């Protein structure tokens, strides 16, 4: 018995001494996909290069073997394999084969992350901050004052909270105007607008949206979910036009507002129609929540990720890395985007084709890029105001949340020029 234990111990020592790499598989064998991204980020923070193996076992990660990294993998409950030099070289050869739709992308530096989010507590949660906290990826919270003070160039990656950049407070007026949290939200925004020199909240939100657009143009990466993507473009299109009714800003909207929209100002959407009734929980027809067929329910609501060429289109390939190609849908204040309102230069990465909905889109603006993702919470089909936060300990392998984390690591990649 003692001899067997001694032999096993010697064998393990031999394997580790010859094991030069750590492989973190991201296929169905992974116990915790979400925390695996956190490990990749943690490793980059320690100036250790990470290889993102696109389309190899679900988009696996590989790095040189360090005992400290192995220990952290065990602490966080992330599945990993210790492999020797020869095995790592064989994986790279397999990935490099021109006949294989795989590629290696080197991640060099942990991106500095900012989340644009209000400092006051609101009765809903943000999927991005939930998954960043769960994956143990650090971030700073900034809001209107910080943006207007010019802090954005300090960051590589910016997430927009479920914001209404049109200045209409998410159109919660009809249902929640007497709620304490809604009144507090209005008070804080109006005080902030005055402090920053604006007469109206809508003017402040437009100025913030333009600062964020400049951040992207200068080379920043912006990720946005739920109501932020469409309200962002609505605000930009309405630059100089009053699209807000009196209950939100004290005076009526411009009756000719629709005719005055400038779609050249927007990032992703065009030819949309404003929804001007303040009692309707929509600001434009970009969102499909109210227009989608009533036959779509939680049981049959799915969207499909496109299969891009890893060697020719590494950017969308990175953003679509997953162990599932068909992903269950989920609703939000903005559930998905009407395909008819998407600009032709925008890349659709995930869609519900039969319903004419784009769920996951990507585009370039100036020197930077942006990704828009419809829906509120990938693991809560109909997340309502006041619902408890999703416990991601119950969903460590969530394919919907993986798409968010793909975007977090995206700025860490040494970019190759897109060929198509």
Q: Tell me the three-class secondary structure of 94-145, residue by residue.
A: HHHCCCCCCEEEEECCCCCEEEECCCCCCCCCCHHHHHHHHHCCCCEEECHH
Residue 420 falls within a domain, yes or no?
A: no
Strands 113-116 and 140-142 turn out to be parallel
Point out the domain boundary residue: 107, 128, 150. Answer: 107
Does residue 54 sit in the same domain as residue 145? no
Same-domain pairing of 179 and 103: no
Report, as an integer, the average pLDDT of 372-386: 89
Tokens of 278: 């303040």
* Same domain, yes or no: 149 and 39: no
Write the CA distances from 227 to 111, 147, 235, 257, 267, integer angstroms. Answer: 25, 19, 12, 21, 15
For a pLDDT cut of 90, what percent of the chain falls above it?
Answer: 79
Domain count, the chain: 2
Instruction: Kindly state whether residue 11 falls inside one of the protein's structural domains.
Output: yes
Determine the Cα–Cα distance for residues 123 and 182; give it in Å rounded to an integer: 9
Structure confidence by residue, pLDDT tens digits, 60-104: 999 999 999 999 999 999 999 999 999 999 999 999 999 999 999
Q: What is the pLDDT of residues 398-409, one digit of tens each?
A: 999 999 999 999
Residue that terminates a domain, selected from 72, 107, 142: 107
For residues 94 and 207, membership in a common domain is answered with no
Residues 243 and 336 in one domain: yes
Q: For residue 398, which of 351, 330, 316, 335 has the smallest C-alpha distance?
A: 330
* Structure confidence at residue 355 (pLDDT): 92
In the prediction, which pLDDT does 385 show? Answer: 77
Q: What tens digit of pLDDT does each residue of 190-202 get?
A: 999 999 999 999 9
Cα torsion angle, 25, 27, 30, 33, sign: positive
Question: Residues 100, 181: one domain?
Answer: no
Residue 27 lies in domain: 2-107
For residue 419, tell me if it sits in a domain: no
Identify the CATH number of the domain in which residue 396 sits.
3.40.50.880
Residue where one domain finishes, among candidates 50, 79, 107: 107
3-state secondary structure of 363: strand
In a domain, 6, yes or no: yes
Residue 417: inside a domain, yes or no?
no
CA gap 204, 197 in Å, rounded: 8
418 occurs within a structural domain? no
Q: Is there a single domain that holds both residue 174 and residue 287?
A: yes
pLDDT tens across 3-51, in order? 444 344 434 444 454 569 999 999 999 999 999 999 999 999 999 999 9
pTM for this entry: 0.93
Closest CA to 83 of 56, 46, 117: 56
């Amino acid at each position: 018995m003692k001899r067997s234990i001694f032999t096993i111990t010697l064998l393990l020592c031999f394997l580790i001494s010859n094991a030069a790499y750590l492989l973190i598989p991201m296929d169905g064998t992974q116990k915790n996909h979400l925390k695996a991204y956190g490990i990749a980020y943690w490793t980059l923070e320690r100036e250790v290069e990470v290889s993102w193996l696109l389309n190899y076992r679900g988009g696996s990660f590989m790095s040189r073997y360090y005992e400290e990294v192995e220990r952290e993998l065990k602490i966080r409950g992330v599945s990993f394999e210790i492999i020797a030099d020869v095995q790592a070289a064989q994986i790279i050869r397999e990935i490099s084969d021109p006949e294989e739709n795989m590629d290696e992308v080197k991640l060099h530096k942990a991106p500095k992350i900012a989340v644009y989010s209000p400092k006051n507590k609101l009765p809903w949660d943000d999927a991005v901050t939930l998954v960043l906290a769960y994956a143990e990826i650090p971030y700073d919270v900034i809001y209107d004052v910080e943006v207007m003070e010019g802090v954005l160039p300090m960051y590589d990656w910016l997430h927009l909270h479920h914001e209404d950049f049109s200045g209409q407070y998410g159109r919660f007026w009809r249902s929640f105007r007497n709620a304490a949290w809604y009144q507090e939200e209005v008070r804080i925004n109006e005080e902030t607008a005055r402090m920053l020199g604006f007469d109206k909240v809508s003017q402040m939100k437009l100025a913030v949206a333009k600062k964020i657009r400049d951040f992207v143009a200068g080379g920043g990466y912006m990720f946005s979910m739920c109501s932020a993507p469409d309200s962002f473009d609505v605000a930009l299109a309405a630059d100089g036009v009053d699209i807000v009714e009196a209950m939100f800003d004290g005076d009526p909207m411009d009756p000719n507002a629709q005719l005055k929209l400038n779609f050249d100002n927007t990032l992703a959407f065009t030819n949309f129609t404003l929804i001007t009734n303040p009692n309707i929980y929509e600001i434009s027809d970009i969102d499909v929540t109210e227009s989608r067929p009533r036959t779509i329910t939680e049981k049959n609501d799915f969207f499909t990720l496109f299969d891009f060429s890893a060697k020719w289109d590494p950017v969308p390939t990175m953003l679509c890395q997953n162990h599932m190609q068909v992903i269950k849908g989920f609703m939000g204040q903005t559930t998905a985007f009407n395909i008819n309102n998407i600009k032709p230069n925008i890349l659709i990465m995930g869609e519900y084709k039969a319903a004419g909905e784009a769920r996951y889109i990507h585009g370039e603006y100036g020197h930077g890029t942006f990704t828009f993702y419809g829906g509120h919470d990938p693991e809560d089909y109909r997340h309502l105001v006041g619902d408890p936060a999703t416990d991601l300990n119950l969903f460590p392998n969530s394919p919907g949340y993986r798409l968010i984390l793909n975007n977090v690591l995206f700025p860490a990649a040494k970019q190759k020029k897109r060929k198509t």
